[in-house]
Structure 1
Amino acid sequence: MSQQVLSRGVRRETHSPRTVAAVIVLVVLGAAAVFVGIEIVRWFAGLGPLLVAPGDGLRALTELPDAEPQGAVVAGGAVAAIAGLVLVGLAVGPGRRPRHAMSGHPIAVVCDNGVLASAVAEQLRRALDLAPGAVVVGVGSRSIDVTVRPAPGETIEKDRVRDLAAEEVARYDLSPGLKVHARIAKPADEEGRER
């Protein structure tokens, strides 16, 4: 299999398609076009309009800025502007899925962010000899956040946690790469309350 086919497959798995948004927009535009077409045919046939005659509809559109109540016109304009901004955002935005590609393999490997978080948390827990649940990891599109909660009386250096996590993430050779952020939480007492 060629590298181009593999990279296309990885892109499909790591980026969200715009199919749903495109279908919704096309259905709404298609329904509007069909409605306008039916009204025009009924007007040419001399039949009454279903909702509004084409001439009356155009006249209402031209008189819309002066229509009463003004609050309804402004609200309708705001809804249309928000819908337009959402569509522009969908068209321009990256649309990433919560997944990362693992490069450096002769085959395409895509890993879910939840799997990455679990693997890094388990490796850190073992390396730092901590209790289960003492390491919490969150993976975003460009960064990984590690929170370690040591046992009472135990001290762990933030730099060591960050270095261990960065070393583990580097082993996966992820694309795009992740920047590691580490945090040491306050130790909990025997009943689970923060000190």
Structure 2
Amino acid sequence: MTTTASAVPTQADGAIMPSVPASLYRRILRRETHSSRSGAAIVVLIALVIVAAYVGLESVYAALGMRALLFSPIDVLATLLSASTTQGGLVIAAGIVAAVVGIILIVVGVTSGRRGRHTIDDSRVAVVVDDQVIAAALSRSARTAAALAPGQVTTWVSRRSARLTVTPASGVRVDEEAVLAAARDELGATAYQPPVTPEVRTTSTGRLGA
């Protein structure tokens, strides 16, 4: 869990320190909970470079009268031109697919990625909590409420939900309501943003020696 400096005036050597602007906290929290799309951009650029290099290589082969490695760009272009007049529906469908892919790439490029973290509402400090910390706390609360052993509860936390998977001991029934109530109490004690909603799932097979 990471915290930043206090947002209320504090004293250092008898002097009152100025409060930190709320806008600064918002920028800090966004920086800590969001990531850039540089990875996705690199993958797309590499794919484009590979496609461009392949088309260039095939074009050189075609210009020299050599046999194409896979397909000739000239033959593909001729096929597309003939399809535009004889198979208009296929061309329209291909255009729609290309437009959808383009829109997806634009959205991925414009929006920022998300890190596995949540923030906590607090007027004094900016607090960021890793999702793994939340998952560990939920697992511990669930094990305590249902008298389960370590390893019998695994928790996965996403942006707005938490899934607790309970593996009971063979022949022993687990009180899912108690586990769910404990998870809700744990999440309710801390105002995570965005809010997390828990759900509990019990595996169909138990484990020996649990």
Unaligned runs of 5+ in 1: 27-63
1:97-152 deviation per Cα after TM superposition (whole angstroms, max 9, x unaligned): 21100223621111111221122112221232211110011101111111112222
Task: Report the structure, 1 or 2, having the larger strand content.
Answer: 2
Q: Which amino acid counterpart does residue 87 of structure 1 have in structure 2? A: L
Alpha-carbon shift at residue 153 of structure 1 (Å): 3.3
CA contact (8 A) 2:117 2:131 kept: yes
Q: Counterparts of 1:67-106 in structure 2 under 5 Å?
A: 67-70=77-80, 81=99, 84-91=102-109, 95-104=113-122, 106=124
Q: TM-score, normalised by structure 1?
A: 0.63
1:135–1:23 Cα change, 3 Å: closer
In 2, Cα distance between the equivalents of 1:121 and 1:25? 38
In 1, Cα distance between the equivalents of 2:111 and 2:138? 29
Q: Share of identical aligned residues, percent?
A: 34
In 2, Cα distance between the equivalents of 1:156 and 1:190? 15
Q: Which amino acid counterpart does residue 149 of structure 1 have in structure 2? A: T
Q: TM-score, normalised by structure 2?
A: 0.59
Larger RCO: 1 or 2 (CA < 8 Å, sep 6+):
2
Pair 1:109-2:119 in alignment: no
CA contact (8 A) 2:167 2:207 kept: no
Q: Which amino acid counterpart does residue 156 of structure 1 have in structure 2? A: V
Give the structure 2 partner of residue 188 of structure 1.
Answer: 206
Alpha-carbon shift at residue 189 of structure 1 (Å): 4.4
Give the structure 1 partner of residue 153 of structure 2.
Answer: 135
Aligned length: 155
Q: Which amino acid counterpart does residue 135 of structure 2 have in structure 1? A: A
Q: What's the secondary structure of 2:156's corresponding residue?
A: strand
CA contact (8 A) 2:168 2:207 kept: no
In 1, Cα distance between the equivalents of 2:41 and 2:200? 40
In 2, Cα distance between the equivalents of 1:188 and 1:85? 46
Aligned alpha-carbon RMSD (Å): 3.7
Unaligned runs of 5+ in 2: 1-19, 46-73, 84-90
